A and B are shown apart, each in its own frame.
Chain A
Amino acid sequence: MARRGSGHAKGTSRLSTQIILLVISFSLIFLGKLDIYTLRAAKTGVSDVIAPLYDIVAAPVRAFDTMASGMRTLASFRAENVRLRAENERLRRWQRRAEILESENRQLRTVLGAASTTALTPVTARAISAPGGSFAHSLLLQIDEGHRIRRGDAVVNADGLIGFIIESGRKSARVLLISDVNAKIPVLLASSSWPGLVLGNNDQRLRLDFLPLEAEAKEGELVLTSGHGGILPAGIPVGRVVVAEPGNVIVAPSVALEQISFVSVLTKDEGLDKPVDLADLERFFGPLKPESDGRLLEGISAAELLK
């Protein structure tokens, strides 16, 4: 009888433990959404501790991936070489065009007295994780201690926008990818300048919404960040329109999000209200070095012409 009573008490205690743990795990869903500073700090602390362990565990997977992609490249070596030569030639033509346009742009900026508002310093970081789930698209960056990465900083690579920082710890930072359902990026259509909002939906394609009624997106049109809201800098490529139907505009990201390894975090300098230093502008927004064929407009000024 006493044994039965003890067993019953044990069963009741186990059941109550399970109920308490169920309640705690359920409340975690809401606590995560509340964005309380202490919780955020705890989460970044956990990420800081686990990130090096994860990096070790992921090493064999990364090695396998490198080996597999190496074998794929070897198999298509010849075709790849021909493709790259053609692409190189095309890019050279684009480079010349870009240099001319940049030079023209700089001169027009000088004439108009237009100045960019934000000085950005790129910080290089390594991506150590990938989304791997249908319910959230974020990735973790491993960064050096003493960095100046903060929430809201844009994360880019050579191809365009990857996402923005949502958590920044001592040695790690979390990026919300543009493909996440919570990512809503203010953008402009590059050729028509119509503003809109690019929305992620946890897929490899993005949706372009909130376009004005008279706006007409074209297939292949480039989509750039508009800088509205002041979080992300303007002019970063987000993607290209791949489906342009009324009420259904789909954008393919410029960046191959499944192949991210190193990224640049565009950190804002201390004190955004400080006056813009023209030398900084020159450094970040100045044109590429002109070629020596002398065809560029670089350097020609009224004073020189008068001489």
Chain B
Amino acid sequence: MSYSAYFQKAKLTSYFSMQFMVAVSLFFLGLFEGALSLLEIFYISTPLLSFAVYFTLFVFYPVALPVLSLVIVTVLLDVFFSSLDHSQTFAILVSLLIVRGAVSFPEQRDFMEIWQSFIVALVILLGLQSVGYMIWHMSFINFQSVMFQFGVTVLLYPFLHAIVRQAADLLTHISQR
């Protein structure tokens, strides 16, 4: 083996496709989100961190997160975290598809508009799940915990949005070098 092999430029492209890596990262983010419930404050409801990231990726980087990846990741997390009601996958898919249809040219939009669209998507998600729950169980949902989840997720969205955009810019910058 020659010494020159050690001084070859490292390969910056992964063998795994970008979409696969994004799906794996989202899966671990979902696990982390579930782990937050171990903290007493989030025992009843954790902030929907992964939904916020799905939204940003779905709207700004649709190539990185195809619908199939989204479904696979959400089904796995849905099966792992709640064994009885598998409505989350459907609700996430419906809310994201509706809002993506409404948000055209996201790069040209103000952040406040994007935030508003996220709130609409979140309302659709939690609304669908709540209605499904009430029909299925013939019982009222605990609105306090749903509102807590809604509020914390809305407040955290700007931070998550900034993190995802920065990470995407960084990865684009690295891959273009």
Contacts and interface: CB of A to CB of B under 8 A. Distances in A.
A75 B85 CA distance: 41
Contact of A136 (B71, B85, B93, B149): B85
Interface string B60-90: 0000000110010011101111111111111
B162 interface: no
A29 B132 contact: yes
Most chain A CB inside 10 Å of its own CB: which residue of B28, B37, B93, B137: B37
A65 B38 CA distance: 8
B102 to A, nearest CB: 15
B139 interface: yes
B71 A58 contact: no
Interface stretch (A46-54, A110-118, A282-290): A46-54
Given A21-B93, A25-B75, A132 B36 contact: yes
B97 interface: yes
A134 B37 contact: no
A37 interface: no
Contacts of A62: 35, 38
Contacts of B133: 135, 181
A136 B83 contact: yes
Contacts of B93: 21-22, 25
Please classify the interface of chain B as helix (H, G, I), strand (E, B), loop, or mixed, using the class held by over half of its residues. Answer: helix
A138 to B, nearest CB: 6
Nearest to B74: A25
A64 B85 contact: no
A43 B79 contact: yes
Interface string A17-31: 110011011101101
Given A130-B38, A130-B43, A201-B142, A29 B149 contact: no
Interface in A54-74: 54, 57-58, 61-62, 64-65, 68
Contact of A65 (B39, B74, B82, B140): B39
Interface in B27-52: 28, 31-40, 42-46
Contact of A57 (B35, B85, B139): B35
A61 B142 contact: no
Interface in B123-177: 129, 132-133, 137, 139-142, 145-146, 149
B44 to A, nearest CB: 7
A131 interface: yes
Interface residues of A, number: 49
Interface in B77-133: 78-90, 93-94, 97, 129, 132-133
Contacts of A140: 80
A236 B28 CA distance: 38
Contacts, number: 148
Contact of B84 (A18, A68, A182): A182
B71 A61 contact: no
A95 interface: no
A68 B38 CA distance: 12
A57 B25 CA distance: 12
A269 interface: no
A138 B84 CA distance: 9
A22 B70 CA distance: 11
A50 B80 contact: yes
B83 A135 contact: no
Contacts of A134: 44-45, 141-142, 145-146, 149
A187 to B, nearest CB: 19
A57 B83 contact: no
Contacts of A138: 82-84
A59 B38 CA distance: 10
A25 B45 contact: no
A12 interface: no
Given A29-B86, A43-B83, A133-B46, A202 B35 contact: no
Contacts of B146: 134
Interface in A136-165: 136, 138, 140
Contacts of B68: 17, 21
What are the 5 tightest A-B residue pairs by CB atom distance, in nearest-first order?
Answer: A132-B37, A58-B35, A136-B82, A258-B43, A130-B37
6 contacts: A22-B94, A29-B132, A50-B80, A61-B32, A132-B34, A135-B88
Given A28-B90, A132-B45, A136-B85, 18 more contacts: A21-B68, A22-B94, A25-B71, A25-B74, A29-B132, A31-B86, A46-B76, A47-B83, A50-B31, A54-B34, A64-B39, A134-B45, A135-B129, A135-B133, A201-B142, A202-B145, A257-B43, A258-B40
